[in-house]
Chain A
Amino acid sequence: MAEKFLMKGNEAVAEAAIRSGCRYFFGYPITPQTELAAYMAKNMPKRGGVFLQAESEIAAINMVYGAAGAGARAMTGSSSPGISLKQEGISYIAGADLPCVIVNMARGGPGLGSIQGSQADYFQATKGGGHGDYHMLVFAPNSVQELVDMTARAFDKADEYRMPAMILGDGMLGQMMEPVEFFEPTEPDALPKKEWATDGTGMKRKKNIINSLYLESEILERLNIERYERYKRICEKEPLFEEINTEDAEIIIAAYGMSARIAASAADALRSEGVRVGIIRPITLWPFPSEIFARRAAYVKAFLCVEMSMGQMVEDVRLAVEGKCPVYFYGRTGGMTVEPDAVYKEVKRILELKTAGGI
């Protein structure tokens, strides 16, 4: 059996990135992701990599643009207000079809908000954030082990589809310690060469250009349509989710990340009382696993979406369910954590609505 390490989520992401062949990390200090940058600062030089503390979040994401365009696996990490600052760069990265990984250990917002964990950046992560027609891959792990596994996957998928990928955690996941196992490291030289990268022509090929500017609208439209054809393939192939006890469920809780772990405790308590409750936990937020919600909507009586926000993913659940059954929402915001007992009570309340003819 592989060796286990007890690590904070932020540190585990960093180690997973290095083992994925990432040797370039550009960051800016912000709570609650500081351990990520600190781990990189300590370990990148030992592993032949570069850690650079940029002058701003904006500079950091543009350094990622440069390094990714030069053919390397590159990463930046931040938390909500810092991720807002990076949006210009993310739009350019998407527009120039560059692969990279961005970590958001989200905190309460809007504005400077709070420093406690939050899930209020769902819209920003999945619906754009920056300007223009684009998406990025969004992975939302719910454990330190899954942070490790999804970081590796994010690098692979970003390269495969030539697009930015985000690890969307929250302050709680970044700060908590759990035992993790790591995969065997990949050396950067062992990764497939990127023929499109700007690494010097060597006078052996035509020039490569990394660019998102197309002054002729006909060309930009064609490229955007092509990019969305790629997105369509991603939506077919790449959604990830976990299902618990949905076969016989009359009500299904939809939750991701830390909310899903809390909801699972509530679901266990309800099951022990004979309440037929299940859980669908999206692991990719984009592409959103719509199909499983549509399938389960055919027989459940209701969904309850639980988030640490005022209700963001609930919109995607409703779109997937297409009105086949009611979709309720319960959330806490501003950095407050959803409590198992509150989820338990909300499920009970909804089921009572049913007996009263509410569902």
Chain B
Amino acid sequence: MITVFKRPHPLSDVSNTYCPGCTHGIVHRLVAEVIEELGAEGDTIGVAPVGCSVVAYNFFEFDVQQAAHGRAPAVATGIKRVHPDKLVFTYQGDGDLAAIGTAETVHAAARGENISIIFINNAIYGMTGGQMAPTSLVGQVTQTTPYGRKIENQGYPIKVSEMLSTIEGAAYIERVSVDSIPNIKKTKAAIKKAFECQLDKKGFSLVEVLSSCPTNWGMEPSEALKWLRENMIKQYPLGVYCDKR
């Protein structure tokens, strides 16, 4: 018998707690596949954020630290300085990374901290029930922008990959999407490049993953992916923003 599909070993054999149609599960699996392919499971330390993926430590087989809201890059810095040869990555949402944790993110990049960040951008606060994120689109209706995000009130969405790519310490930054099979494949390749960048000690790497949140967007999962494709990618163009490998 030939095995054509199996759970990657770094992914725990448990049910995850994400909503039906949520793309966190896809990205978790991609992270686990890459770590397995790199043979790095025993040498990986992950950092979970505050947000929907706060309990990510339940879904991986490697060591994980859970960090305070926005502080994952600082926590990862502490870990990495103790274990410079291990694979240290954070997994953070848009509120965690681009609002409350902006300083930690920018300065980890500025230091060229040799860590990787998997940044899930779904343009909304998921865990708290759908409030405006720093990456919410102009006009986007959320619980805290019931009349739509207005520039005169809430300003503009933050383009994290573009912003961080201006920082000299950044070594690899790519924005990808998990809205389609081809894009999921590109996402996996980007995660692999980021992790390899770290293992080669090239410095700070970040993969921004455009993701969907059907529950808080109030859409069917397929409709949410369509919305992502038609709206988010326009605001957040896909591609490599920085590559100094």
What residues of B have a CB within 8 angstroms of the CB of A92 in the complex? Answer: 67-68
Given contacts A62-B78, A66-B79, A70-B78, contact A210 B71 (CB under 8 A): no
A-B contact count (CB 8 A): 133
Name the residue of chain A whose CB is nearest to the CB of B45. A198
| B14 CB to nearest A CB, Å | 12
Nearest-neighbour CB distance to chain B for A123, whole angstroms, equals 23
A242 to chain B, nearest CB (A): 36
Q: Which of A53-61, A140-148, A171-179, A229-237 contacts B (4 or more CB under 8 A)?
A: A53-61
Determine how close the nearest CB of chain A comes to the CB of B15; give it in whole angstroms: 15
User: Per a CB cutoff under 8 Å, which of A56, A70, A207 touches B79?
Assistant: A70
User: Please, which residues of chain B bring their CB within 8 A of the CB of A209?
Assistant: 57, 63-66
Per-residue CB contact flags for chain B residues 65-108 toward chain A (1 = under 8 Å, else 0) read 11110010011111111110010000000000000000110110
A40 within 8 A of B: no
Q: Which of B36-44, B129-137, B141-149, B172-180 contacts A (4 or more CB under 8 A)?
A: B36-44
B43 touches A59 (CB 8 A): no
CB-based contact B78/A74 at 8 Å? yes
Evaluate contact between B63 and A62: CB separation under 8 angstroms: no
B55 lies within 8 A of A213 (CB): yes
Query: Is the CB–CB distance between B63 and A207 below 8 Å?
Result: yes
Bitwise, A178-213 to B at CB < 8 A (1) or not (0) is 000000000000000000001111111001111111
Query: In the assembled complex, how far is the CB of residue A129 from the closest CB belonging to chain B, in whole angstroms?
Result: 15
B65: contacting residue among A55, A59, A66, A74, CB under 8 A: A66
A324 CB, nearest partner CB in chain B, Å? 44
In the complex, whether A256 has a CB less than 8 A from a CB of chain B is no
Given the known interface contacts A50-B81, A72-B82, A88-B68, the answer about A201 and B74 at a Cβ–Cβ threshold of 8 Å is no
A71 near B74: Cβ-Cβ < 8 Å: no
Whether A24 pairs with B78 at a CB distance below 8 angstroms is yes
Kindly provide the distance from the CB of A96 to the nearest chain B CB, expressed in whole angstroms: 8
Q: Are A65 and B75 in contact (CB under 8 A)?
A: yes
Asked, given contacts A55-B107, A200-B86, whether A63 binds B65 with beta carbons under 8 Å apart, the answer is no
Instruction: Answer yes or no: B54 CB below 8 A from chain A CBs.
Output: yes
Query: Could you tell me if A199 and B81 are in contact, using CB atoms closer than 8 angstroms?
Result: no
What chain B residues lie within 8 Å of A203 (beta carbons)? 41-42
B83 x A70 contact (CB < 8 A):
yes
Residues of A within 8 A of B79 (CB): 66-67, 69-70, 198
B102 to chain A, nearest CB (A): 10
Closest to A69 in B: B65
Give the shortest distance, in Å, between A40 (CB) and chain B (any CB). Answer: 13
> Does A286 reach chain B (CB closer than 8 Å)?
no
Contacts of A52 in B (CB 8 A): 77, 81
Tell me the residues in window 105-125 of chain B with beta carbons closer than 8 Å to chain A beta carbons. 106-107
The 8 A-B residue pairs with the shortest CB-CB distance, nearest first, are A66-B78, A198-B63, A62-B74, A67-B78, A66-B75, A55-B107, A203-B42, A63-B78
Other A-B contacts than A55-B103, A59-B74, 5 sampled, CB-CB below 8 A, are A58-B71, A62-B74, A66-B82, A207-B62, A213-B54
A residues with CB within 8 A of B: 24, 26, 50, 52, 54-56, 58-60, 62-72, 74, 88-89, 92, 96, 198-204, 207-213, 215
Chain B residues within 8 Å of A, Cβ to Cβ: 41-45, 47, 54-55, 57, 60-68, 71, 74-83, 86, 103-104, 106-107
